[in-house]
Amino acid sequence: MTAAATLPPLPAGVLRQAVTDEAAIASNVAALRGVLDVRHLMVVVKADGYGHGLVPAARAALTGGADWLGVADVDEALTLRSAGVMAPVLAWLHGPGSDFPAAAAAGIDLALSSLAQLDAAAKAARAAAGGRAGVQLALDTGLNRNGAPREAWAALFRRAAELEAAGLVRVRGILSHVSNTSEADDLAQLALFREAVGRARGVGLRPELLHLAATAAALTLPPTRLTMVRIGIAAYGLTPFEAGFDDLGASTAGGGPPGAGTDDPFTRLGLTPALTLRAPVVAVRRVAAGEGVSYGYTYRTAGPTSLALIPLGYADGIPRSASNRGVVTVGGVRYPQVGRIAMDQFIIEAGGRDPAVRVGDEAIVFGDPARGAVGVGEWARAAGTIGYEIVTRLGRRVGRTSVGGAA
């Protein structure tokens, strides 16, 4: 398996395109599987596979050796089933009306945070005639977010044991989620988690899947790996760390290959970013010095230059907060994004007396820095956010395609 597929040129007539490299996801997952050395590896494909496409991401993750898929909600899990993805799936975020009967019928595991949810899962199993609902108990160990609070554990474990004895549920796992605040905070959560597992065993539960770590903890705190890790962002070749070092190479004085000389635990893995966002240049114009650019004239040209128009805006997920800070490449050359990013379009300054950028040229907004593209992390820093938000916020107008999938 090659680490990355080659990108075919942007087809004529396509105005905006996000390309997912399934081979990159598969090889990232295979690399993580090797490095993390855990019994079970869940790849998280919620939020449309972190913007990479739910089904392509899931297929690629399974190709790379994932044995579980994770999603936020039941609808996402059912979408996987409708597409023929039959691997074990866990969904963990539910409302009072979430379709547990459909989940039970489709063999989807539910991570449950309350007695009400546990009872609803048992009721769904009863309706599914003979089947047991696969459940995993979601416990809060510090985030105060999803997961049963500590005071509720005893009752939850007792009821789960009763329902298991009654043949209605199978308690396959126990999970929690860490805050990534500090090593000490995460280890405190791990200690609480171990206490919970001991108490669950005390009432007769035998969960085989014990999972606490997402990408950041899995990479930096081996004791949190337990029997399974839930890997999202790294499967897509992106860093979980806010001040990522994944793509500084091109913009750091001194140069060198991306990530060279860094000791970042993510960078050392050498994973491949799997999403490329691109669009054709749709207009190029020469302008004189002192010209204002886009709304509010937040940028004025310093000298005669050329401006090129890219048909992507904040409605497509390009953060307006990155205005005057973004960078894109055309033909492998970096050009600064200038002026306010508008709803549908933004401008890059191509410079030069004889513009090097022409209408129809392919502009790559972000992609794989190892192949000369601007990284997702660079856009994230320009917008004051994290890579997770950049890839998951792409708008509905952006056409999706994938390359490098198994035939």
Ligand X SMILES: *Cc1c(COP(=O)(O)O)cnc(C)c1O
Q: Which residues of the shown chain bind ligand X in the complex (CB under 6 A)?
A: 44, 46, 92, 177, 214-216, 230-233, 240
Neighbours of 166 (CB within 10 A): 12
* Closer residue to ligand X, CB minimum distance, 160 or 386: 386
**Which CA distances in Å does 156 have to 70, 127, 177, 203, 268?**
22, 22, 18, 11, 41
Residue number of the CB closest to ligand X reads 232
Would you call 186 exposed, middle or buried from its count of C-beta atoms within 10 A (0-12, 13-18, 19+)? buried
* Closer residue to ligand X, CB minimum distance, 229 or 281: 229
* Closer residue to ligand X, CB minimum distance, 44 or 174: 44
Which residues are CB-contacts of 34 (< 8 A; sequence separation ≥ 6)?
none
Query: Does residue 388 carry a catalytic annotation?
Result: no
* Closer residue to ligand X, CB minimum distance, 17 or 117: 117
**Token pair belonging to 367:** 């992609």
Closest of 318, 338, 327 to residue 398, by C-alpha: 318
Query: Does residue 46 carry a catalytic annotation?
Result: yes
Output the smallest distance, CB 287 to ligand X, in A. 42
Q: How many residues does the chain have?
A: 407
Output the smallest distance, CB 329 to ligand X, in A. 26
Output the smallest distance, CB 93 to ligand X, in A. 8
**Token pair belonging to 204:** 């007769």
Residue 141 CA from chain centroid, whole number: 23
Q: What are phi and psi of 14, to 5 degrees?
A: -85, 125
Q: What pairs with residue 400 in β-bridges? A: 18
> Out of 123, 295, 297, 314, which one is annotated catalytic?
295
Output the smallest distance, CB 276 to ligand X, in A. 19
Catalytic positions are: 46, 295
